[in-house]
C-alpha cells in the first residue's frame, strides 16, 4: 500500500535518528497522518471508479423499484378528492347513514372538483380507487359527478336519488377507512382478505381467494423445478467431472448451447414438441400407441410449465455443481472403498457431502430464477401453469390495479431478496459462475 | 474412466446404466433445440414431420419459411431494433461495468460487499418487478416507448455480467505491473490502456458478450417499456407464438441457434486465452 506513494515520501528523508521522536515525512507531517491521507485518497479513487455505475443503478434500477413498492401503500385519491367530506365524517360512528352536513360537504367537494381544469380533476381516480374496495362505486362516482353541481338542499336525498350506493353505509365506511394518505388495503387484498363492516380483517369467500393459493402454487412449482433440475443435473455434472478434460469440454457443449440459446427459441421448441399436433403426439399416433382422438395434452397446463422450465434452468444447476465436483479428489472415494465401504456407502458418506456447496448454490439460484419467472408460464402455462408473475403482469396491463400489482410484487421481491441474502451467506454474490 | 479389469457384473451393469441415463439427459437438453432445425425446412405449415420429410424426398423440404422471414418488413425492422438496442446498451454496460469492477477489485474500496450485492441485484430481482418499476418511472420522465428507455433498462440488466466477468479476470491480476509502469513514468491512463486493458480484455469482451446476449434475448422489459417502434426479435417471436404460430418462428429460431453457437465459440476461445495469459492452464 505504501510503495505506490513512495515517490511522495522517499524513505531517506524520514527522521529515524531519535527513537522517541515521531516519524515525519519530508514536509514535516507525521508519517501516520500522511499515510492516513494517502489511504483516504486511494479509497476515494476506488470509489470514484464505482460511482458512475452506482449512480446509474440507483437512478434507473433501485429508485424505480422503490417507487413501485411505494405504490403498494400510497393512497392519495380519497384525500385529494374529498377533503371536506373527510373532515365532516371524522366523528361518524360507522353504523347508520352520515348526517346531512356530511352530504353538504360532499356536495362542496363535487362542486370544487367540477371547477378544476379537466386534467386535475380528482373524481375519476377516486371512482377507480373506491371500486377496488366496493364494486359499483366507480359508476356511482361518475354518475354523481355529472349531476352533483346542480344539486339543491337537502343534499342527502339528492345524492341517494342520484345513486343508491350513497344510501349504503358500506360506501361511507370505505371512504372513512381509505381517507388516509397510506393504506394497507392492497396488502389485505393480496392476502385474500377483506375488511368486514366493523373494520376487522377477515378471509374472503372461498371462491374469491386467488393469491395465497397462487403464491403456494408458485412456490410448489419452483420447488418441483429445482428438484427436477437437481435430479437431472447431478448425474451429468458428475459424469462430466470424471471424464478427461477434453471429452468433458466437448460434452459441456450440450449444457452450454441451451444456456446460450434464446429463451423464446427454447420455449417455442417445447411448443413444437408437446402441442397436440406436435412432434411427440404425431409420433405416438403414427406408431399406433395412442389413438388420433386421444392425443395427450402436455402443454398449456402445469406439465408444460414444469417441463419447459426444467429444461431452461437445468444449466444453472449443472454449472455450479460441475465446478464443485471438479475440485473433489477421486482419491477420497478410493480411500473409502479401500477401508471397506461399499460403493453406495462411500458415495453417500464421502462424496455426496462434499457436493453440498454446489447443490446449495445451484438450488438457490434455480429457485430464485423460477419463482419470478414470467415468459415461459405465460406462453406454455395455460391456466393451471400460471405463476405469481403472470398475475402481477395482468394487474399491470389489463386490470390496471397498480396498487395491487405493487403489493404482490413487493411480497415476491422480499421473498427473493431473503433468498439472495441466504445465497450470499452460502456462496457469496461475487462467486456467481458464468459458463 | 474405463472399467477396471476386476469389475463385477454388478459394476458393469451400473457402469452402463449410468452412462445411458447421462446420455438420455444430454439428449433431453439438446433434442428440443435440434428438432427445430429440420422442421424449419418443412414445406407444410405443420410442426411435425410429414411422410415426405421422413422419406427424405426433396419435395418435403423448402426454404419458404426463410423466404417468408427475409421478405417480412416487421422481422427486418425487429432485427435492426435488436442490434441498435443491443449494441448501445452493451457499450454503456461494458464501460460502466469495467470501471466499477476496477474499483471493486481494489483492496481500499469501502463497503465492498454491500455495493457489490447492490450492483449484482439486477440479475437477481425478478424481471417482472424491474419491468414494473421501470414502466412507471420511465413514463414519468417521458422516455417510455423510446430507444433511450429500452437501452437504459437493458444497460442496467447487463452490467452485473460485466462486473462478474471482469472481477473474475482481475482476481489473478498482478498489481505490481501497473506500479512498475508508473515507476517507469507512465501516466495512470497510459498505464491502464497499455498494461491493464490488454490483460483484462478477455474478461471485458466476454462480459460484453453476456451483456449483449442479455439485451438481445430480453423480452419482459421490452413488453413493458418499449413502444411499437422498438419491437425487437424476441418481441416479434412473442407475438408470433401468441397470435399466429407459423414455421417462420422455426426459421428465426434456427438462425438464432446458429448465432448462439457462434457466441459459444467466441466465449470458449476467450476463456482459453484468458487462462493461458494468467498461466492457469497450459494452452
pLDDT tens string A214-257: 999 999 999 999 999 999 999 999 999 999 988 998 899 899 99
Share of residues in chain B with pLDDT > 70 (%): 97
The pairing of beta strand A193-195 with beta strand A201-203 = antiparallel
| pLDDT value, residue B139 | 93
**B1 closest CB neighbour out of A48, A242, A409:** A242
Name the residue range of residue B56's domain.
9-60
Other beta carbons less than 10 A from residue B17's beta carbon: 10
Q: B128, B130, B156, B160: which to substitute to probe chain A, counting the most A Cβ within 10 Å?
A: B128
User: Is residue B283 situated within a structural domain?
Assistant: no
Residues 27-46, chain A, touching B (beta carbon < 8 A): 39, 42-43, 45-46
Beta bridge partners of A201: A195
Query: Is the model more confident about A10 or about A243?
Result: A243
- Mean pLDDT lowest among A102-106, A163-167, A426-430: A426-430
**Is residue A422 helix, strand or coil?**
helix
| pLDDT value, residue B269 | 85
Distance CA A289, CA A192 (A): 45
Nearest CA-CA partner of A14 in A38, A6, A42, A1:
A6
Residues B28 and B125 in one domain: no
**Is residue A27 helix, strand or coil?**
coil
Q: Please give the distance of CA B96 from its chain centroid, rounded to a whole number.
A: 18
Name the pTM for this structure.
Answer: 0.88
Positive or negative: CA dihedral B148, B151, B155, B156: positive
pLDDT tens string A167-197: 888 899 999 899 999 999 999 999 999 888 7
* Cβ–Cβ gap A279/B238 under 8 Å: no
Q: Tell me which chain B residues have a C-beta less than 8 angstroms from the C-beta of A371.
A: 126
Distance CA A349, CA A367 (A): 26
Chain A touched by B266 (CB under 8 Å): no
Chain A touched by B220 (CB under 8 Å): yes
Residues B103 and B233 in one domain: yes
* Cβ–Cβ gap A396/B99 under 8 Å: no
Residues 151-180, chain B, touching A (beta carbon < 8 A): 152-153, 155-156, 159, 161, 163-165, 167, 179
Farthest-apart Cα atoms in chain A, separation? 101
Other beta carbons less than 10 A from residue B258's beta carbon: 11
User: Is residue B1 situated within a structural domain?
Assistant: no
Residues B98 and B190 in one domain: yes
Using the predicted structure, report yes or no on whether residue A321 has a pLDDT greater than 60: yes
* Cβ–Cβ gap B137/A67 under 8 Å: yes
Distance CA A173, CA A91 (A): 12
Whether A94 and A68 have beta carbons less than 8 Å apart is answered as no
Nearest CA-CA partner of B103 in B179, B180, B27, B192:
B192
pLDDT tens string B54-100: 788 888 888 888 998 999 999 999 999 999 999 999 999 999 999 99
Distance CA B103, CA B117 (A): 14
Identify the structural domains of chain A with CATH numbers, from first to last: 3-71 (no CATH), 77-183 (no CATH), 211-431 (1.10.3720.10)
Q: A229, A252, A259, A260: which to substitute to probe chain B, counting the most B Cβ within 10 Å?
A: A260
Quote the cell numbers at residue B217: 434475448
User: Is residue B264 situated within a structural domain?
Assistant: no
Q: Tell me which chain B residues have a C-beta less than 8 angstroms from the C-beta of A258.
A: 29-30, 33
Q: A62, A255, A264: which to substitute to probe chain B, counting the most B Cβ within 10 Å?
A: A264
Quote the cell numbers at residue B6: 476386476
User: Is residue B277 situated within a structural domain?
Assistant: no
pLDDT tens string B263-276: 888 888 887 777 77
Residues 121-140, chain B, touching A (beta carbon < 8 A): 121-130, 132-138
**Is residue A30 helix, strand or coil?**
strand
**A254 closest CB neighbour out of B30, B115, B224:** B30
Share of residues in chain B with pLDDT > 90 (%): 52
| pLDDT value, residue B154 | 97
Distance CA A316, CA A434 (A): 9
Nearest CA-CA partner of B196 in B166, B152, B165:
B166
Q: A4 falls in which pLDDT band (50, 70, 90)?
A: very low
Highest mean pLDDT among A22-26, A429-433, B108-112, B251-255: B251-255
Using the predicted structure, report yes or no on whether residue B278 has a pLDDT greater than 70: no
Chain B touched by A273 (CB under 8 Å): yes
Residues B92 and B152 in one domain: yes
Whether B123 and B161 have beta carbons less than 8 Å apart is answered as yes
**Of B39, B60, B81, which closes a domain?**
B60
* Cβ–Cβ gap A263/B217 under 8 Å: yes
**In terms of DSSP H, where are the helices of B218-247?**
220-225, 233-242
Q: What is the mean pLDDT of residues B117-141?
A: 93
Distance CA B65, CA A268 (A): 16
User: Is residue B52 situated within a structural domain?
Assistant: yes
Using the predicted structure, report yes or no on whether residue B279 has a pLDDT greater than 70: no
User: Is residue B260 situated within a structural domain?
Assistant: no
* Cβ–Cβ gap A271/B167 under 8 Å: no
Q: What is the mean pLDDT of residues A203-210?
A: 86
Quote the cell numbers at residue A58: 440507483
**A392 closest CB neighbour out of B104, B128, B136:** B128
Beta bridge partners of B61: B42
| pLDDT value, residue A20 | 59
Closest residue in B to A313 (Cα–Cα): B29
Query: Is the model more confident about B19 or about B43?
Result: B19
Q: Tell me which chain B residues have a C-beta less than 8 angstroms from the C-beta of A283.
A: 48
Residues B50 and B108 in one domain: no
Share of residues in chain A with pLDDT > 90 (%): 46
Chain A touched by B256 (CB under 8 Å): yes
Q: B49, B129, B224, B258: which to substitute to probe chain A, counting the most A Cβ within 10 Å?
A: B129
Question: In whole numbers, what is the pLDDT of chain A averaged over residues?
Answer: 87
Nearest C-alpha of chain A: how many angstroms from B104? 7
Nearest C-alpha of chain B: how many angstroms from A357? 19
Residues B19 and B154 in one domain: no
Residues 70-99, chain B, touching A (beta carbon < 8 A): 96-97, 99
Whether A253 and A423 have beta carbons less than 8 Å apart is answered as no
Residues B86 and B128 in one domain: yes
Chain A touched by B182 (CB under 8 Å): yes
- Helices then strands, each counted (H, E), chain B: 13, 0
Residue in this structure with the C-alpha cell 421448441, named with its chain if needed: A269
Quote the cell numbers at residue A207: 371462491
| pLDDT value, residue A417 | 92
Can you list the pairs that A251-255 forms with residues at least 24 positions away whose Cβ atoms lie under 8 Å?
A251/B26, A252/A322, A253/B264, A254/B26, A254/B29, A254/B30, A255/A314, A255/A315, A255/A318, A255/A319, A255/B29
Using the predicted structure, report yes or no on whether residue B222 has a pLDDT greater than 60: yes
Using the predicted structure, report yes or no on whether residue A435 has a pLDDT greater than 60: no
Structural domain count of chain B? 2
pLDDT tens string A388-429: 999 999 999 998 999 999 999 999 999 999 988 887 776 655
Chain B touched by A396 (CB under 8 Å): yes
Closest residue in B to A397 (Cα–Cα): B224
Q: What is the mean pLDDT of residues A114-128?
A: 89
Query: Is the model more confident about A290 or about A63?
Result: A63
Q: Tell me which chain B residues have a C-beta less than 8 angstroms from the C-beta of A39.
A: 108
| pLDDT value, residue B175 | 82
* Cβ–Cβ gap B219/A264 under 8 Å: yes
Using the predicted structure, report yes or no on whether residue A6 has a pLDDT greater than 60: no
| pLDDT value, residue A270 | 92
CATH number of the domain to which B85 belongs: 1.10.3720.10
Residues B77 and B174 in one domain: yes
Residues B233 and B162 in one domain: yes
Q: B49 falls in which pLDDT band (50, 70, 90)?
A: confident
pLDDT tens string B187-202: 988 998 888 888 888 8
End-to-end CA distance of chain B: 23
**Is residue A202 helix, strand or coil?**
strand
Q: A261, A320, A390: which to substitute to probe chain B, counting the most B Cβ within 10 Å?
A: A261
Using the predicted structure, report yes or no on whether residue A103 has a pLDDT greater than 60: yes
Nearest C-alpha of chain B: how many angstroms from A279? 5
Total number of residues shown for chain B: 283
| pLDDT value, residue A403 | 94
Residues B116 and B218 in one domain: yes
User: Is residue B266 situated within a structural domain?
Assistant: no
**A279 closest CB neighbour out of B47, B126, B159:** B47
* Cβ–Cβ gap A416/B126 under 8 Å: yes
Query: Is the model more confident about B46 or about A306?
Result: A306
Nearest C-alpha of chain A: how many angstroms from B29? 6
Nearest C-alpha of chain B: how many angstroms from A46? 4
For the packed helices A352-371 and A402-426, what is the interaxial angle rounded to 10 degrees? 160
Q: A2 falls in which pLDDT band (50, 70, 90)?
A: very low
Nearest C-alpha of chain A: how many angstroms from B56? 17
User: Is residue B25 situated within a structural domain?
Assistant: yes
| pLDDT value, residue A305 | 93
Nearest C-alpha of chain B: how many angstroms from A314? 8
Distance CA B156, CA A389 (A): 20
Chain B touched by A139 (CB under 8 Å): no
DSSP string of A295-330, one letter each residue: ----SSSHHHHHHHHHHHHHHHHHHHHHHHHTTS-T
Whether B198 and B190 have beta carbons less than 8 Å apart is answered as no
Question: In whole numbers, what is the pLDDT of chain B averaged over residues?
Answer: 89
| Alpha-carbon distance values, B5 to A328, B1, B9 (Å) | 24, 12, 11
Using the predicted structure, report yes or no on whether residue A136 has a pLDDT greater than 80: yes
Residues B33 and B162 in one domain: no
| Alpha-carbon distance values, B103 to A358, A427, B99, B109, B186 (Å) | 29, 22, 6, 7, 20
Give me the half-sphere count of Cα atoms (radius 13 Å) on the Cβ side of residue A225: 35
Residues B91 and B31 in one domain: no
Nearest C-alpha of chain B: how many angstroms from A175? 26
Distance CA A318, CA A193 (A): 41
Q: A74 falls in which pLDDT band (50, 70, 90)?
A: very high
Amino acid at each position: 500500500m505504501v510503495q505506490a506513494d513512495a515517490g511522495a515520501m522517499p524513505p531517506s528523508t524520514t527522521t529515524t535518528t531519535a527513537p522517541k521522536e515521531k516519524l515525519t515525512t519530508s514536509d514535516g507531517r507525521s508519517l501516520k497522518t500522511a499515510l492516513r491521507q494517502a489511504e483516504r485518497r486511494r479509497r476515494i479513487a476506488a470509489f470514484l471508479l464505482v460511482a458512475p455505475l452506482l449512480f446509474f443503478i440507483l437512478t434507473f434500477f433501485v429508485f424505480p423499484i422503490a417507487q413501485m413498492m411505494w405504490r403498494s401503500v400510497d393512497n392519495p385519491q380519497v384525500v385529494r378528492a374529498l377533503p371536506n367530506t373527510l373532515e365532516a365524517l371524522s366523528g361518524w360512528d360507522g353504523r347508520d347513514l352520515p348526517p346531512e352536513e356530511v352530504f353538504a360537504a360532499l356536495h362542496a367537494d363535487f362542486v370544487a372538483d367540477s371547477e378544476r381544469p379537466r386534467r386535475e380533476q380528482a373524481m375519476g381516480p377516486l371512482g377507480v380507487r373506491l371500486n377496488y374496495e366496493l364494486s359499483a362505486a366507480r359508476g356511482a362516482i361518475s354518475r354523481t359527478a355529472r349531476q352533483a353541481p346542480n344539486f339543491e338542499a337537502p343534499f342527502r336525498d339528492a345524492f341517494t336519488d342520484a345513486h343508491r350506493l350513497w344510501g349504503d353505509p358500506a360506501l361511507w365506511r370505505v371512504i372513512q377507512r381509505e381517507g388516509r394518505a397510506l393504506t394497507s388495503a392492497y396488502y389485505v387484498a393480496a392476502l385474500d382478505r377483506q375488511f368486514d363492516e366493523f373494520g376487522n380483517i377477515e378471509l374472503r369467500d372461498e371462491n374469491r381467494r386467488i393469491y395465497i393459493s397462487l403464491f403456494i402454487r408458485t412456490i410448489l412449482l419452483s420447488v418441483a423445478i429445482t428438484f427436477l433440475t437437481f435430479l437431472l443435473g447431478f448425474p451429468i455434472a458428475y459424469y462430466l467431472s470424471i471424464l478427461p478434460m477434453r471429452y468433458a469440454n466437448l460434452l459441456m457443449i450440450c449444457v452450454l448451447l441451451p444456456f446460450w440459446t434464446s429463451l423464446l427459441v427454447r420455449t417455442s421448441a417445447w411448443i413444437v414438441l408437446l402441442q397436440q399436433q406436435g412432434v411427440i403426439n404425431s409420433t405416438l399416433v403414427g406408431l399406433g400407441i395412442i389413438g388420433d382422438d386421444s392425443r395427450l395434452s402436455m402443454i398449456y397446463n402445469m406439465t408444460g410449465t414444469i417441463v419447459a422450465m426444467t429444461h431452461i434452468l437445468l444449466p444453472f444447476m449443472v454449472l455450479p455443481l460441475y465446478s464443485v465436483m471438479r475440485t473433489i479428489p477421486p482419491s477420497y472415494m478410493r480411500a473409502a472403498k479401500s477401508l471397506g465401504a461399499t460403493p453406495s456407502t462411500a458415495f453417500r458418506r464421502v462424496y455426496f457431502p462434499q457436493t453440498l456447496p454446489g447443490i446449495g448454490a445451484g438450488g438457490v439460484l434455480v429457485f430464485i430464477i423460477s419463482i419470478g419467472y414470467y415468459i415461459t408460464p405465460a406462453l406454455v402455462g395455460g391456466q393451471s401453469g400460471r405463476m405469481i408473475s403472470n398475475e402481477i403482469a395482468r394487474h399491470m396491463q389489463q386490470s390496471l390495479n397498480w396498487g395491487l400489482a405493487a403489493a404482490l410484487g413487493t411480497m415476491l421481491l422480499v421473498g427473493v431478496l431473503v433468498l439472495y441474502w441466504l445465497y450470499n451467506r452460502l456462496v457469496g454474490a461475487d462467486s456467481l459462475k458464468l459458463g | 474412466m474405463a472399467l477396471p479389469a476386476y469389475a463385477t457384473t454388478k459394476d458393469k451393469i451400473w457402469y452402463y446404466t449410468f452412462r445411458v441415463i447421462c446420455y438420455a439427459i444430454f439428449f433431453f437438453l439438446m433434442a428440443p433445440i435440434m428438432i427445430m432445425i429440420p422442421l424449419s425446412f418443412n414445406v407444410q405449415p405443420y410442426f411435425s414431420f410429414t411422410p415426405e420429410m421422413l422419406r427424405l424426398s426433396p419435395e418435403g423440404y423448402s426454404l419458404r419459411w426463410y423466404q417468408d422471414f427475409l421478405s417480412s418488413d416487421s422481422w427486418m425492422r425487429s432485427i435492426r431494433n435488436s442490434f441498435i438496442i443491443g449494441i448501445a446498451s452493451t457499450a454503456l454496460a461494458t464501460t460502466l461495468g469495467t470501471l466499477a469492477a476496477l474499483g471493486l477489485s481494489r483492496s481500499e474500496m469501502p463497503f465492498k460487499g454491500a455495493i457489490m450485492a447492490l450492483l449484482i441485484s439486477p440479475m437477481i430481482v425478478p424481471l417482472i418487478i424491474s419491468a414494473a418499476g421501470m414502466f412507471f418511472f420511465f413514463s414519468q420522465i417521458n422516455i417510455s416507448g423510446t430507444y433511450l428507455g429500452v437501452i437504459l433498462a437493458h444497460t442496467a440488466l447487463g452490467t452485473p455480467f460485466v462486473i462478474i466477468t471482469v472481477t473474475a479476470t482481475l482476481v489473478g491480476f498482478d498489481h505490481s505491473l501497473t506500479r512498475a509502469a508508473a515507476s517507469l513514468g507512465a501516466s495512470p491512463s497510459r498505464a491502464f490502456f497499455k498494461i491493464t486493458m490488454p490483460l483484462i480484455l478477455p474478461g471485458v469482451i466476454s462480459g460484453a458478450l453476456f451483456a449483449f446476449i442479455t439485451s438481445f434475448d430480453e423480452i419482459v422489459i421490452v413488453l413493458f417499456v418499449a413502444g411499437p417502434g422498438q419491437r425487437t426479435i424476441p418481441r416479434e417471436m412473442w407475438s408470433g407464438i401468441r397470435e399466429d404460430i407459423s414455421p417462420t418462428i422455426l426459421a428465426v429460431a434456427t438462425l438464432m441457434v446458429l448465432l448462439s453457437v457462434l457466441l459459444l465459440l467466441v466465449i470458449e476461445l476467450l476463456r482459453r486465452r484468458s487462462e493461458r495469459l494468467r498461466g492457469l492452464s497450459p494452452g
